[in-house]
Amino acid sequence: MIPNTVVHEDLTGDQRGVRVIRISRPQARNALDTATKDLLMQMLSDADADPEVRAIVLTGTGGVFVAGTDLKQMKTLAPADHLVQRTGQMFSVLDALETPVVAAVEGYALGGGCELAMACDVVIAGASAQFGQPEIRVGLIPGAGGLSRLVQRAGRSRALHLVLTGDRIDATTAQELGIVADIVPDGTALGTSVELAARIAAQPPLQVQAIRRVARHAENSPLRTAIELERTTFQLLFDTADRSEGIQAFLDKRTPNYQGK
């Protein structure tokens, strides 16, 4: 029996509402093959559909996030196989989630692993983490947003420098380029990510969804258009019960009880 290459755990207590999803192929440094992508896609979709899950933490095992795409399998794929097997759909699912995702990165986040991290909302990296898009070194280019996201975040010149050489960058450089939000001591990325996810999970769910939706549009829209959407969304949220609860709790000097309504 082949063990699952992706597992999940729902946290409790102060971390209630957080689901941790772990990629577990330690023998391959968590490299993404199609079976792992399919399972990860299903687990992300299931978490997004569960009203009890308000934030997701995505991480690897064995001190590695994801070392890349499984090149042993990639070697045998024909162009049509990518269409039939939907090898890029996992990233589309991640982009469409309503639930916020925090990536806890230790060790390598290379190729598909770097693309996976950048597709998450927030990236927390251990101090020794390394990022990169080395596809050119094996006769490929990034195929799941690696180049495009880097151009958006780092600018065309710095993105091309990385993608045309396949060079790796450390966590500090990744933070400078807008890939990483925070750098923490090695071995603590998961704990820090869970703490952050728990703080997000405690916020009003509709407002969290709205913020992420506006932020996605702001990345790709003229500033004026993005601000118009932000203002309209702000006004619509005035009709939510959680808006009333949040203001009343502040006035009462108590912790709000958000219901997602």
Could you tell me the residue ranges of all domains in the chain? 6-201, 205-252
Q: How many helices (H) and strands (E) does the chain have?
A: 12, 9
Q: What is the pLDDT of residue 1?
A: 40
User: Which value, in Å, is the radius of gyration of the alpha carbons in the chain?
Assistant: 19
- Candidate list 135, 219, 228, 230, residue with the active-site label: 135
Q: What is the pLDDT of residue 178?
A: 95
- Candidate list 52, 98, 115, 245, residue with the active-site label: 115
Q: What are residue 110's DSSP bridge partners?
A: 132
Q: Which residues of the chain have pLDDT under 50?
A: 1, 84
- Residue pair 8/21 in contact (Cβ under 8 Å)? The answer is yes
Active site residue 135: yes
Task: Say yes or no: do domains 6-201 and 205-252 share a fold.
Answer: no
Q: What is the pLDDT of residue 82?
A: 53
Backbone angles phi, psi at 193, to 5 degrees: -65, -40
Decide yes or no: CATH 3.30.10.20 for domain 6-201. Answer: no
Upper half-sphere CA count for residue 212 (Cβ side, 13 Å) = 23
Long-range contact pairs involving 194-197 (C-beta distance under 8 Å, separation at least 24): 194/11, 194/15, 194/18, 194/20, 194/57, 194/104, 195/15, 196/102, 196/122, 196/124, 197/15, 197/18, 197/55, 197/56, 197/57, 197/100, 197/102
How many residues make up the chain in this entry? 261
- Residue pair 188/126 in contact (Cβ under 8 Å)? The answer is yes
Q: CATH number for the 205-252 domain, one of 1.20.120, 1.10.12, 3.40.190, 1.10.10?
A: 1.10.12
Active site residue 115: yes
Q: What is the pLDDT of residue 91?
A: 87
